[in-house]
Structure 1
Amino acid sequence: MTGHQDTLVIEMDSSLRTPGTGVKGVVRIHPDQASRHELSVVHVELLAVATGVEMKQMENGTHTTPVMREILLDYKEALWDSKAPPMYGHIVQAGFIRCPFAFHFPTHPLPPSYQSIAVSMSAAVRYFVRVTGRLKGWKLSGITHPHIRVVQAFPFVPFDDLPPRAPLEYMPVARHATEIPVRKGIMGGYGNVEAEVFLPAVECFPLFTDIPITVHVKCFSKEMPHFHGSNSSHFTFPLPPSTPNAVELDLIRTCHYDISEHSSNLGSVGGFGKMHPATNGPASHIKTDIGPPTWLQHHGLKHEGRWWQEVTFRSNIVFRCSPTFGIPKLRITYHLELKIPFHGMGNDVHLTIPLDGISSGIYRKAPLEPSTKTLDLHQAYWVLGDIKDIRDAV
C-alpha cells in the first residue's frame, strides 16, 4: 500500500506477474483531502519502463546523466471525475471513495523485471501501477506541482520459451575444469590442484528449480622421497577443502550497455562460502565426500612419489534472479565464479563457469501459483521517485 498525503492510496498486491495475468487493485480517495486540494480527475496506468543512468564522480558530488528512458508498456484508464457521476463499482467505505481498477498483461514479449546499481551506471526495467490526480487548486494549497502521483511496483517475468524440461538430475552433465601448479613458499617443488564443476548440460537454467551441481577437487603434493609414502603426515600442502565454507561459488551478473558494461556479485549460491540472503540452502544440505590421502608412486622414479587426496561436494542451486534478456541498448548475462583459496601467493584456484542463459521456468500451460515465487531484486527497484514523472500527460 502506498499513498501521497492520504489523498490517493493504492491497494494492490505486489506478487509476481506473467503474460496475460491480471493486475487488479483499488484506489482509495480521501474526500476531504480531494476537496481541499480541488482534485478534479484521477487516472490509473499500468507501466513498464526501461531506464539507464550513467554516473560520474565529480569534485562536487556524483553527476548523473540519463542515457535510456523507454516506455515498454503503457495502459491508461480514467478512474474518477469530480464532475461526473460515480463510475460502476465505486463505493464509499469508512469515509473513503474506493475505485477498483483492472488491467491484463499483453502476451507479446516483454523483458523481465530488473535492477542493477554500480559505481558508474545503473539500469532498470520496472513494472508498476501509477495513479495520477490533477489538482485545480494546487497553487493555493501550497503544492508545488499540478499533479499528485502515487506508484506501486511489482515484479514480472516472461514465459519460458523452451519446452518443459525433464528433471535436471537426469540430464547429461557438462564438465568445467581447471588445473594449476601451487607452491607453499618461494622455494621448493610444486604441487598441483585440479578442480571440476559439473552442471546439467542444458540451454537455459530455469528459475525456482533445484539445479544439481557437483564440485570435485583433487590435490597433489610436491614430489617426495619414497620413504615419506609410509606416513600421510608428510602430506601438508596443498590439502583439499574439507567443508563447503572453504569453497566460494558466486553468481555474477554482467550488465552490457552499449559500449560499456559492469558486473555485480549477487552472492554465494548452493550453500558454499559465506552465507548470503539469497543463498540457496545452508551448508548442512551439501553432501561432502572426502577421500583418504593416497600415496602415488612415480612411474619413472621408483624412489619418489607424491600424496594426493580428493573431495567432492554435491549440492543444489536455485536461481531467483532476473532472467537473461536483451533489449536495445541493454542486455544481461550470468556466470558462476568458483574460488578455492590456498595458502601462499598466487595459489588460489579460480574457475569461470558460463551460463548460456537463465529462463523464467514458468510455462504458458502451467498457471503461476500466487505468492509462491519471488524474484530477488535490488531494493532500488521498489523506489520509484525517479520515474513518477516519466511523462506529464494526465
Structure 2
Amino acid sequence: MASSTAAAIALRFPDLVRVAGETLCGRVDLHVALAQEDHIEQLRVKLRGSITTKITTQNGQTTYTHVQTIPLVHWSQILWKQGTAFPEPGSHVLSCPFQFQLPANLPPSFYCASNSRGAISYSLEVVGDRPGLFRLNRRLRRLISVVPAASQGQLLAKESLNQGWSGPWRDIKAAEKMRQGIWGDYSFARATLSLPDLPSFPIATPIPFTLHIMTETKSVHRSERPEDKHGKPLFPAPPTRSSELTRDLHRQTEVRVRSRTRHVNDTFRLKQGIPSSGDGQSAVVNEPEWVPQEDKDRGIWRRTVQLNSTLVFPFAPTFKTETLDWTYELRFVVPFPGFGNNLKIRIPIHLGAGSACPPPPIGAAGSSNITYADILPAGPPPMLDLPPSYWAGEDHDWGDEKN
C-alpha cells in the first residue's frame, strides 16, 4: 500500500518550521495513470491541528484513560477529481497546487509525556479517495512544526541580542558556606549570574550571560600559599571553564482533562555556548588575593573568576491554553569538591517567539518561487527540540480518519 501510494502521489511541501498566521503553499503531484489503476477517484489535502491531553487514573485493578481534544485548525481542499484535469501532453504527472493560511493565534507545537501526556500537534495530509467496498483510502501524512509570531518588541530584542547586547542586565546571586570534610572550619563561595534584563528571551537565539564566582578559603596562617604542597589550589577552588558548569532548563507542564489536573516535569541539559565577552574570552581568572583578618598572622585567600558564554533555548515558547500550559526555570550548578558543596542558582524565565510572520507569497497558489531567504534575513525559524514521539504522531488527534 505504501509503495503504491508513493508511486501515485507525491507531496511537495518544504520541511520548515511554520509561523502562526503564515500563508503556506505547496503542491501534490499525481501520477494519473497509476491513480486510475489504484482506483483513486478524488484527491484532497487536509490540515489538522489540535491540543490533546491524556490523564491515566487507577481504581483498584482497573486503569482509566481520560482524554480531551480541542481542535485548533480544520482545513480541507479538493485538488482533483477523476476526469476533471489531465497532465500536459507527454507527461503522466498532474501538479495540483494548494494554498492556505494558518490562524494567527495558534499555540506552538509541543509534546510532554510521563504518567500524563499533552500534545499540541499539526499535520498536513493528502488523501486519495477510493470508493468501494473493502478499499481503504490512500494517505500521505506529514507532521509539521508551528511557532507563534513574534511581536515587534520581541523582534527588536532578538536583533539587539544578535548585535551584542548593550542594554541593562539583571543579577541573580547565590552564596553558600562549605567545608572540605565533615569537620573543620567553613569556607565560602558566592556567585552572581548576569543576564540581559528582558521580560522574555527569544527562542533559538544566543543569550549572553556572565557568571562571576568568588571563593574564600578558611582562615589560614599568612605563611601558607594559595596552593597546597601538591600545587593544587586551596579549597574551594572555583571552576575556570564554562564547560564545567551544569546548565539545565526545567519545564513544568500542567495537563488538564476537564476536572482532572496533573503535572509533568522535564529537565533539558543546555549545550555548551560560545564566549560572549567582547574579546572572545570565555573566562577571566584573577590571581589569588590575600585578605588579612583581625589577627594579622591569619587571613584568607580570595579567588575570583568570571565566565562568559551564551545560552540557547530551542524549545516551545512559554504558553497557556485551555488544557495545557507550561513554565520554565533556568538552573545553574557551580561544582565544588565534596559532598553537598555545589552552589545552585535558579531563576524562572519566560521564553518568547523569535520569528516574524512572513508576508503572503506572490503569484498563484503553489507556484511562487519566493523563499524565506527573500522574506527574512535570518531565514526560516530553527527547528524546535521536539521528541521523536511528536514526529511519530503519538497522541495526535487525526480527526476524520475515515474521510
TM-score class normalised by the smaller sequence: 0.7 to 0.9
> Does the 8 A contact of 1:11 with 1:25 survive in 2?
yes
> Does the 8 A contact of 1:245 with 1:283 survive in 2?
no
**Are 2:282 and 1:287 equivalent residues in the alignment?**
yes
Query: Distance between the aligned counterparts of 1:93 and 1:222, measured in 2?
Result: 87
**Are 2:304 and 1:310 equivalent residues in the alignment?**
yes
CA deviations 1:236-283 (Å, max 9, x no partner) are: 2110002222111122222222332222222224x2xxxxxxxx4489
Give the counterpart letter for 2:284 in structure 1: D
Query: Distance between the aligned counterparts of 2:265 and 2:394, measured in 1?
Result: 25
Q: Hey, what does 1:275 align to over in structure 2?
A: none
**Are 2:137 and 1:147 equivalent residues in the alignment?**
yes
**Are 2:238 and 1:240 equivalent residues in the alignment?**
yes
Query: Distance between the aligned counterparts of 1:43 and 1:245, measured in 2?
Result: 51
Q: Hey, what does 1:101 align to over in structure 2?
A: 98
- What number of residue pairs does the alignment pair up? 368
Q: Which runs of 5+ in 2 are unaligned?
A: 360-374
SS in 2 for 1:170: coil
Q: Hey, what does 2:351 align to over in structure 1?
A: 358
Q: Hey, what does 2:131 align to over in structure 1?
A: 136
Query: Distance between the aligned counterparts of 2:24 and 2:88, measured in 1?
Result: 20
State, as a whole percentage, how many aligned pairs show the same letter.
Answer: 25
Question: How do 1:31-70 and structure 2 match up within 5 A?
Answer: 31=32, 33-54=34-55, 65=65, 67-70=67-70
* Alpha carbons of structure 1 residues 281 and 233: separation in structure 2 relative to 1, 3 Å: closer
**Are 2:376 and 1:379 equivalent residues in the alignment?**
no
* Alpha carbons of structure 1 residues 281 and 10: separation in structure 2 relative to 1, 3 Å: farther
> Does the 8 A contact of 2:116 with 2:262 survive in 1?
no
Q: Hey, what does 2:369 align to over in structure 1?
A: none
CA deviations 1:329-384 (Å, max 9, x no partner) are: 111211211012222111111111211x2111224589545446333322322222
Query: Distance between the aligned counterparts of 1:266 and 1:207, measured in 2?
Result: 14
TM-score normalised to structure 2 length: 0.81
* Alpha carbons of structure 1 residues 184 and 91: separation in structure 2 relative to 1, 3 Å: farther
Deviation at residue 226 of structure 1 after TM alignment: 3.3
SS in 2 for 1:381: helix
**Are 2:171 and 1:178 equivalent residues in the alignment?**
no
Decide which of 252, 265, 268 is 1:266's aligned counterpart: 268
> Does the 8 A contact of 1:161 with 1:363 survive in 2?
yes
Decide which of 161, 165, 186 is 1:190's aligned counterpart: 186
**Are 2:121 and 1:126 equivalent residues in the alignment?**
yes
Decide which of 155, 158, 183 is 2:148's aligned counterpart: 158
Query: Distance between the aligned counterparts of 1:93 and 1:249, measured in 2?
Result: 60
SS in 2 for 1:233: coil
Query: Distance between the aligned counterparts of 2:3 and 2:220, measured in 1?
Result: 73
Q: Hey, what does 1:277 align to over in structure 2?
A: none
Deviation at residue 79 of structure 1 after TM alignment: 1.6
Give the counterpart letter for 1:267 in structure 2: R
SS in 1 for 2:252: strand
Q: Which runs of 5+ in 1 are unaligned?
A: 272-279
RMSD: 3.2
Q: Hey, what does 2:200 align to over in structure 1?
A: 204
Give the counterpart letter for 1:377 in structure 2: L
Deviation at residue 12 of structure 1 after TM alignment: 0.7
> Does the 8 A contact of 1:37 with 1:136 survive in 2?
no
Query: Distance between the aligned counterparts of 1:114 and 1:65, measured in 2?
Result: 20
